[in-house]
Chain A
């Protein structure tokens, strides 16, 4: 399956684009998708610890704008947003 990971906040430093693209296995849970992202960043940025920390502390949101938990199964091609720790105002 193809996942377009939309980047926000500090995660925008992961790419020059506003998203990353992943090919993942069917029904992967968010907790495993999180590991995929960390592995990708580890390779691309040679173990950048602050990027790893951002992913570990982020939430994710589905295409229909719901925050999804670690056990959410990704069962189709879709956009997923990464939501790093927030701080507006």
Chain B
């Protein structure tokens, strides 16, 4: 079971309570929430905020493909995965990504959660522009998208 969404910060924000409702199940004994936030320092530069850009349709497609890959790779029963990624400008400490997973056992949940964030870093077309104290900003370099 998958929930995948790009959240436009001008309209709403990422909320843990929505993920809690989605992954709640009596079939699962282990729930893990991975929450990515904006931190204040990168490469010795003081960061004040971050703008996320996204190719929305490709992002959703990528989340669905990663989910399908996870089913094939792990063959875990009754999993639930909730992924939301922000789009737009957010401030220090704000949530940029939430990955919530529910599995039968804790080792499965840890493995699955880690799998999702690592695959998203490699395969999901999202870009970050950092904003600094001196009002400069810069797109971060990133890595070429991997298709498989």
Question: Which residues of A approach B to under 8 Å, CB–CB?
Answer: 8-10, 12-13, 57-59, 61, 65, 67, 81, 83-89
Closest A residue, CB atoms, query B122: A86
- Specify which of B55, B57, B143 is in contact with A87 (CB 8 Å cutoff): B143
**A residues in contact with B139, CB < 8 Å:** 9-10, 13, 84
When chains A and B are docked, how far (Å) is the Cα of A65 from the Cα of B64?
A: 13
Within the complex, which residue of B53, B121, B124, B126 is in contact with A12, where a contact is CB–CB below 8 Å? B53
Chain B's nearest CB lies how many Å from the CB of A53? 10
> Could you list 8 further interchain pairs (A-B, Cβ under 8 angstroms) beyond the known A10-B127, A88-B120?
A8-B127, A9-B125, A58-B144, A85-B141, A87-B126, A88-B125, A88-B127, A89-B117
B97 engages A88 (CB within 8 Å): yes
Binding site for A on B (CB under 8 A): 36, 52-55, 57-58, 61, 85, 96-97, 117, 120-128, 139-145, 147
Q: Which residue of A lies closest to B138 (CB)?
A: A10
Check B97 against A86 for contact (C-beta < 8 Å): no
Are B53 and A87 within 8 A (Cβ)? no
A85 in contact with B126 (CB, 8 Å): no
Residues of A with C-beta under 8 A to B55: 8, 61, 81, 83
Could you tell me the distance between the alpha carbons of A87 and B139 in the complex, rounded to whole angstroms? 10
Q: How many A-B residue pairs have CB under 8 A?
A: 81
Does the CB pair A86–B125 fall under 8 Å? yes
Which of A8, A12, A13 meets B125, CB within 8 Å? A8
Interface pair A88/B126, CB less than 8 Å apart: yes
Q: Which residues of A contact B61 (CB under 8 A)?
A: 65
Known: A9-B53, A65-B57, A89-B117. A83 touches B125 (CB 8 A): yes
State whether B58 touches A88 (Cβ < 8 A).
Answer: no
- Name the B residues within 8 Å of A85 (CB-CB): 141-145
Minimum Cβ distance to chain B for residue A16 (Å): 15
Contacts of B52 in A (CB 8 A): 88
